[in-house]
Amino acid sequence: MATLEPINLIKGWPSTSLLPTHHLSRAAQTALADTSIAFPGLLYGPDEGYAPLRDTLGSWLTSFYQPEQPIGQERITISGGASQNLACLLQVFTDPVYTRDVLFAAPAYMLAFRIFQDNGFSGKMKAVPEDDHGMDMVALRRALEESEKRSPDNRSPMFKPPRPYAKYYRHVIYCVPTFSNPSSRTLPLDRRTELVKLAREFDALVISDDVYDFLQWPADPNDSKSTSITKALLPRLVDIDRFLDGGAERPGADGYGNTTSSGSFSKIAGPGLRVGWSEGSPKFAYGVSQTGSSCSGGAPSQLTSTYMNILVKEGTMSEHIFKILQPAYAARYKTLVSAIQKHLCPHGAKLPKSNQPIVGGYFLWLTLPDTIKAVDFVKRCQIEAQVIIAPGNIFEVPGDDSVKFEHSVRLTFSWIDQVLMIEAVKRISVVLESCLKGEGPTANHKQQYQPVLK
C-alpha cells in the first residue's frame, strides 16, 4: 500500500498562509527604528500593559462590538494571550478553598483544564452540558445550588491574603460563548443575559474566552455578504454585565462585575505574538494587572504590543480580518461542511443543529453513529487513514463523568488547505464505512499508536 501523507485536523492553529507576516515585518521595523516606541517596548512596561495599545484596543473593540458606551483603556489590561490571562485571573480572583467550584460549558476547551488544576481546582471542576444552543442554564443553576449546599461553612479565603485589588469569587464559570472550541456553538442572547444574572446571584466570575469572535461568516453558503461582517454577532457577556441594571456600579455591587472577556491576537494575527487582552470593569481590569508576575515584570508581551498597536491603529488588522481571514476561513468551513455532508452524513454522522445565521471560529463538532466509539474511530483514522482528529473524550471535564462525549469528534478547518481537507474526509469515510460493517482494525494496528493531542 502506498504511504499516505498525514493530514492534521486536530491543530487549532491559524493557517501559515494567512499569517500577516509582511504587515508584522513592517510594524516591527517601524517600532524598532523609532526610539519613542522601541525604548518603552524594550523596557519594563506598566502593570496594565502598553498604554497606547490599551487605548487603541478600546476604540477597535468599540467599533466591532458597538456597546452602549465606548470602551475606554481603563477597562483593558494587556495579557500574554487568553491562556496566560486565564492563569492570572485565577491567581488574582480565586482561592482554591473559598472558590467552591469551576463550572465548564461542556464539551470544554481541553487545554484550559490544566490551568485550573495548576491553581488548585483538581476535584472541583464540573461539567454543565451544552444543548444545540450552548450551555444549559437550568443545569447551571442546579450545579450552583448544589455546590452552595455542599459548603455552607466556607466563609473566607484560606490560601490567598486580603489584597486591595483582589476579590475572591465563590464560583468560576468558564465558557467560549461564540463559535466555541470545540462545539462551534454560539450562546444566544437570552441565555447570555441569564448567565450574567446567575453569575450575579451566586457571586460567580464568568471567564469568557472570546478569541474567535472576529472570524465569522454567513451560515448560508449562498449568502453574498460572505466577504466581510464588521460587527460582532452578539454582545459579549462582558458587555451585558456592564450595562444590565446599572452594571458593576449598581447599588449593592462591589464594582468588580461578574464577567470578563479574554481576547487574543492568536487566532487573527499569530499565537507566537503572545498578545491578548482582558476586559472587565475598571476595578477588575486593574486587579488583573496586579497579579504578582505583572507587578514584577510589567504586563507580558510589551514589545509585540507595540507592533500590534501599529497594525490595529492604522486599520491593517481590520483589513486583514475582514478582507483576508473571513473569506478564507469561510471557504475552508464551507469545504469541510460540504465534504462531511457528502461523504460522512450518508453514513450517519451528524453536524450540530443551529439556527444562527452567522457561524465562525476554527472547528466543527461531529457526532458519529451510536455504535461507533470515538476513541477507537480516531485511532483507526490515524493508523489506517493517516488523518489526525480529536476524540470527544478529551473535551470532557476531568473528574466529572456526568457529561460524556463518547461518540463525538472535533475537526479543525483552520490549519490545512481545502484540497487536503476533502482528501481527509474521503479517507475518514472509508474508516467509517469499515466500522459500520463491523470490520475490525486492519493489520496496521500492530503499529504503536501515539495519540496526538494538539
Least Cβ distance, residue 182 to ligand PLP (angstroms): 8
Residue closer to ligand PLP, measured from CB, 107 or 235: 107
Is the Cβ of residue 121 or residue 202 nearer to ligand PLP in the bound state? 121
Pairing of strands 101-106, 171-175: parallel
Task: Tell me how far, at minimum, the Cβ of 13 lies from ligand PLP, in Å.
Answer: 8
- For ligand PLP, the nearest residue by Cβ is 81
Identity of the residue, 61 or 344, whose beta carbon is nearer to ligand PLP in the bound complex: 61
Reading the block at residue 88, the C-alpha cell is 492570572
The answer to whether the CB of 174 falls within 8 A of the CB of 207 is yes
* Residue ranges that bind ligand PLP, judged by CB under 6 A: 12, 81-83, 109, 176, 181, 209, 211, 264, 266, 271, 276
Q: How far is the CB of 449 from ligand PLP (least distance, A)?
A: 24
Q: Which uninterrupted H or E stretch holds 7?
A: strand 7-8
User: Which element (helix H / strand E) includes 431?
Assistant: helix 418-436
Question: In this structure, are strands 171-175 and 204-209 parallel, antiparallel, or unpaired?
Answer: parallel
What is the spatial distance between Cα 358 and Cα 289, in angstroms, rounded to a whole number? 34
For 215, the grid coordinates are 472570524
Give whichever of 247 and 271 is closer to ligand PLP, judged by the CB atom.
271
Least distance to ligand PLP, CB of residue 265, Å: 8
**Nearer CB in complex with ligand PLP: 168/365:** 365
Closer of 176 and 411 to ligand PLP (Cβ): 176
Residues pairing with 387 in the sheet: 7
Between residues 47 and 210, which has the closer beta carbon with respect to ligand PLP?
A: 210
The order of strands in the sheet holding 125-131 is 76-79, 276-279, 259-264, 204-209, 171-175, 101-106, 125-131, 134-135
Q: Comparing C-alpha atoms, which of 306, 326, 301, 294 is closest to residue 215?
A: 326
Q: How far is the CB of 365 from ligand PLP (least distance, A)?
A: 13
CA distance 415 to 327: 15
Kind and range of the H or E element at 377? helix 374-385
Name the DSSP letter for residue 166.
Answer: B
Residue 432 CB, nearest approach to ligand PLP (Å):
26
Q: Which residues pair with 130 in a beta bridge?
A: 135
State the minimum distance, in angstroms, from the CB of residue 50 to ligand PLP. 17
Using CA atoms of 106, 109, 111, 114 in order, give the dihedral in degrees to the nearest 10: -30
Q: Looking at beta carbons only, is 109 or 333 nearer to ligand PLP?
A: 109
Residue 235 CB, shortest distance to ligand PLP, in Å, is 19
